[in-house]
Structure 1
Amino acid sequence: MADITVEKYHFPDDGITPNNRLPVIVYRQVTDAEDTSAWLEERFKANGWTNNWRDIVLPYDHFHSTTHEVLGVGKGSVELQIGGQKGIIVNVSKGDALILPAGVGHASVSDHKNYEMVGGYPDGKDWDLLTGTAEERKHALPRIKNLPLPTKDPIFGEESEMLRLWK
């Protein structure tokens, strides 16, 4: 693996986006593989993060209450807003990966679509797509709170920064 740096971000509930007590983890340059999308997908699958897809991140703020999510940049680069409308903008590039706890808002804010994101979910869980309406939040908050923690990091498996921080 390449020389990896780790970033972590905490976001409080802002009244619309619940976010999570667990931090968002950003791994920079987890691979320099030529076919980065394939490498990411295989790594996610090997560590039990399945139900994979390759596409872009939706251009509006949304979150999932039924599962955590990993996003890996397979091609290009993109600016993502994480943590909801009161969150931050993070620029991610080919070879970077983000692990988003359930409830954390995320959206693409770049004007371009010349990137490819690879996504996955622990144990292949199905995801919901929520935007933070009052009715959604009423049901989402208990689901997020009671969601089990993953047993493996999507990149590093059983020994990782994510497993140390997500307790």
Structure 2
Amino acid sequence: MADYLKLPAISGKLFRVVVETPRGSAAKLAYERKTRVFEYSRPLPVGNTYPYDWGFVPSTLGDDGDPLDGLVIHQAAAAPGVVIKCDLLGALRVKQQDPDGSKVRNDRYIFCPHKEDAQDEPVAIADVPQDLRREIEQFFLSSVLGTGKKIKLKGWQNAAEARASLVEGMKSFKRKFSH
């Protein structure tokens, strides 16, 4: 059985995102390290659904001890365990306070699937309309209701800034899991 957490984060110039929770789901699913399966985690607040595929960048480690989070903006809905090669658009910087009072940085990286036949046109968070960015912010704010977590949004990063943070997450993973 594949260990999604240890897949290489990068394929060529593209980032891999492992889908945990597909677009349209009203429940959060999570990949469990020990059993290597996708499990039901919790329902979202009433009326909320994931606006896009949600998952993680493999071979990364964030301040919260989990792989770095990724939202894949596209019109389709994948399934848990599907790996999508993506262009990085940017990131939403997030400061999270957990129920025990500890504070961590827990950014949300924003991706779009790479179209194999597309020209090598640069893509950027600036290409995501301002209204859509605000809707994504509102989703993240409402998605933590009832979890005991509090989040503060700290603004958007462009692709270069987000890439630097992802590289740091890759280094953290390597330090912890390379024995």
TM-score (norm 1): 0.30
Larger Rg: 2
Q: Higher helix share goes to which structure?
A: 2
TM-score (norm 2): 0.29
